[in-house]
């Protein structure tokens, strides 16, 4: 997680790097054109930021190589699998959080939603899900 935040902050927090990153995407004609900025206060942004980083990891690795800040983690298949796992997990949690925030729900509805998510997803169930 720290590697992702550090590299996104490197790209987004400096105006020159951000403009060069956008120009790099224009040159490579990538479909996605930017990374999502991470905000500690809004924890839902963590999942979106990690998902975006995962989608753009090859382009980000190329850009960081150009900037002489290579990402050795992006060459490690185990690290990539861990990142993909975190992306999936935070995605499930973000979806659950948004569903639980809907207006006009009864406690029974909230319990049923959480129960259905935990039954569908072995990651939420715990240790008995192997």
Please report where in the chains the tokens 């006009």 appear, as a residue.
104
Q: pLDDT category, 127, cuts 50, 70, 90?
A: very low
The candidate with the shortest Cα–Cα distance to 57, out of 38, 76, 43, is 76
**Residue 12, domain member (yes or no):** yes
Per-residue confidence (pLDDT) for residue 119, from 0 to 100: 76
Q: Higher confidence at residue 128 or residue 10? A: 10
User: In a 3-state reduction of DSSP, which class is residue 116?
Assistant: helix
Per-residue confidence (pLDDT) for residue 82, from 0 to 100: 92
Please give the residue range of the domain that contains residue 55: 1-120
At 35-69, the pLDDT tens digits run 655 555 455 577 888 888 888 888 888 888 988 88
**Residue 24, domain member (yes or no):** yes
pTM: 0.68
Per-residue confidence (pLDDT) for residue 78, from 0 to 100: 95
Question: Which one-letter DSSP state was computed for residue 69?
Answer: -
Task: Please count the structural domains in the chain.
Answer: 1
The candidate with the shortest Cα–Cα distance to 11, out of 38, 41, 30, 45, is 38
* CA 123, 56, 78, 11 torsion-angle sign: negative
**Residue 89, domain member (yes or no):** yes
**Residue 126, domain member (yes or no):** no
At 75-112, the pLDDT tens digits run 899 999 999 998 988 888 888 788 778 788 788 877 88
Distance CA 11, CA 23 (A): 12
């Amino acid at each position: 997680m720290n590697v992702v935040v550090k590299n996104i902050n490197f790209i987004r927090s400096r105006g020159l790097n951000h403009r060069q990153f956008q120009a790099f995407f224009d040159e490579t004609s990538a479909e996605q054109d930017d990374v999502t900025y991470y905000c500690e206060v809004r924890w839902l942004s963590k999942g979106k930021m990690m998902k975006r980083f995962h989608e753009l990891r090859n382009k980000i690795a190329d850009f960081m190589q150009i900037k002489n800040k290579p990402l050795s983690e992006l060459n490690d298949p185990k690290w990539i699998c861990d990142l993909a796992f975190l992306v999936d997990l935070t995605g499930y949690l973000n979806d659950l959080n948004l569903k639980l925030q809907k207006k006009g729900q009864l406690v029974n509805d909230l319990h049923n939603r959480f129960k259905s998510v935990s039954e569908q997803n072995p990651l939420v169930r715990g240790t008995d899900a192997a």
